[in-house]
Chains A and B, each alone.
Chain A
Amino acid sequence: MASDGAAVFAPTGGARRFRANLLVVLAVVALLLALIPLIAVFGYVFVNGIRSLLSLDFLTQDPPADLSATGGGVRNALVGTLEMTGLASVIAVPIGLGVAIFAIEVGGGLARAARFLIDVLSGLPSIVVGIFVYATVVVTQGHFSGFAGSLALAIVMLPVVTVSAEEILRLTPRPIAEGARALGLARWRAILSVFVPIGLSGIVTGVLLGVSRAIGETAPLIFTSLGNNFFTLDLNQPMQALPLLIYRNALNSAYASARDRAFGAALLLILIVFGFNLVGRWLTARRRLAGSRR
């Protein structure tokens, strides 16, 4: 009987029920508001870019010398982006992990100083990073290069990787950390074989965040890799990248061909980032399930 329930539990007042429902409604509204720009941007780029992307030439051909001409593709930019971001990761991930481990395991003034610099770095506008690499590398070498571009992207990635790795490694449960020490494991061994595997999915997520951040950067590349209308794998040459190509073609969007190319490249960039994230998640999820024996 309903009256029994009310006798046992204080009846939920109408006002209280209303407040609870109101909170849910507000949360849903906030969620929708947050999703609108995301869906709108992706939808807009998708609708405008999918036509270019559907032709295989778009991936296998380089752009025409004249941006207003139709045809051609973005091969040089795609390869340049992958190569420069790849090299940037190779530079930034070990350094970032190293700084994170140092900050946690050694601590002290040096670690705090390193951490402070990293924080400053993450607040730096990326164009400043580009100018810094221009002044130090490009000017010294006397030419723009894919290598300089990679370096600039690595500097952009570094704080993202470091901060997330440090936060994840700090979460290693104390009993586990003490267990490793009590077994006489060297510190580096405990970190590499116990802490890093435990935090692996978080660390990978951090690396992917860094890659996603770097792969979409235009500003650090303008003064470093410069851009190149031709295909090259040579890191000593100026190198094209998707954001640079998007930028140049978007500037010429009065021409339908340039406009389509920019949208196609933008969609490609989004899909690459999306793909990286999916693969990363899949890899870490798979690792956790497997009870690897060796």
Chain B
Amino acid sequence: MTIRSVRQKVTASPAPNEAEAVAIQVPVGEPSASAAGGAALGDVAITVRDLSAWYGARRVIRDVSMDIRSNAITAIIGPSGSGKSTLLRCLDRMHEVVPGARSSGKVAYQGVDIYDPEIEPAAVRRTIGMVFQQPNPFPTMSIYDNVAAPARFNGLVKGKAAQDELVERCLRQAALWDEVRDKLGHGGTSLSGGQQQRLCIARTLALQPKVLLMDEPCSALDPVATLQIEQLMSNLKSEYTIVIVTHNMQQASRVSDITAFFNMGPDRAGYLVELDDTRTLFTNPKNQLTEDYVSGRFG
């Protein structure tokens, strides 16, 4: 795919129309009332209620409540240290992997509490996939195995034919197939940074997740690779619920439908300041802090 076509598609990517923009009015702190009839957006996929998270004794996010819609891209923005990554990690139970880390409050996917003791964290992580800031393909595995092995280990695919099919489909979805089809046996780390990141996306897609969480997936990439990933997200939106943390305001306004702005409170714990339709949040924010942040006056 040429850079040009990518760029065209990205600029043409759907910004919600005015009607929706008006419709989605999200009173902060009462996101359940955010129902709003955003016609193009799907139903609420993830509900977060009074979520707080700690590392040891230090609280890093406080009482976050928000709804995340399916078939939409939700961007999370905010200054460094405001707990964006931590929030994201609470959504697929990766937060608890850090020794001494804990959380309280409720996170539900499709109405099911993901912190229910009956539910296996691994099962949550398969349904709610995560892509990290630094591409992290498995260095001893080939490109093929990076995609096939996790799916195979999770019992999602059996037999060579099915694996071949899965690998091709996911690499195509991740817009990487044409670049690697002739070297599937090469090491996953032999690729460029942008290719590695798309490989990691393909690897996650192979688990057939419903949600994709991406923590600054482009921050290690050059502008061309960034555009490719943004394009990819727009394409995946129809099938997945996507949440992306980004420091890049343009990126948030380019790709996302909904944006949530986080800030650090006086207690140095992050909290949700404002969540709204992206267009509205960037052009007509309700909160002065949001306005200052998106216009680059702080952060």
Contacts and interface: CB of A to CB of B under 8 A. Distances in A.
Interface of A: 173, 175-176, 178-186, 189, 193-194, 197-198, 200, 288, 291-294
Given A176-B136, A182-B130, A184-B207, 4 more contacts: A181-B94, A185-B122, A198-B139, A291-B190
B168 to A, nearest CB: 14
A138 B190 CA distance: 55
A179 B125 contact: no
A291 B186 contact: yes
B157 to A, nearest CB: 13
Interface string B196-207: 000010011001
Contacts of B149: 193
Interface string B210-250: 00000000000000000000000000000000000000000
Contacts of B200: 179
19 contacts: A175-B134, A178-B97, A179-B200, A182-B92, A182-B129, A183-B129, A183-B154, A184-B126, A184-B154, A185-B153, A185-B154, A186-B122, A193-B149, A197-B140, A198-B140, A288-B140, A291-B142, A291-B190, A293-B142
A40 B125 CA distance: 59
Interface in B112-145: 122-126, 129-130, 132, 134, 136-142, 144-145
Contacts of B204: 182-183
B207 A183 contact: yes
Contact of A179 (B123, B126, B132): B132
Given A293-B144, A293-B185, A189 B153 contact: yes
Contacts, number: 76
Nearest to A293: B185
A58 to B, nearest CB: 42
Contact of B138 (A194, A200, A293): A194
**Among B124, B140, B186: residue with most chain A CB under 10 A:** B140
A175 B136 contact: yes
A180 B139 CA distance: 12
B184 interface: yes
A110 to B, nearest CB: 16
A283 to B, nearest CB: 14
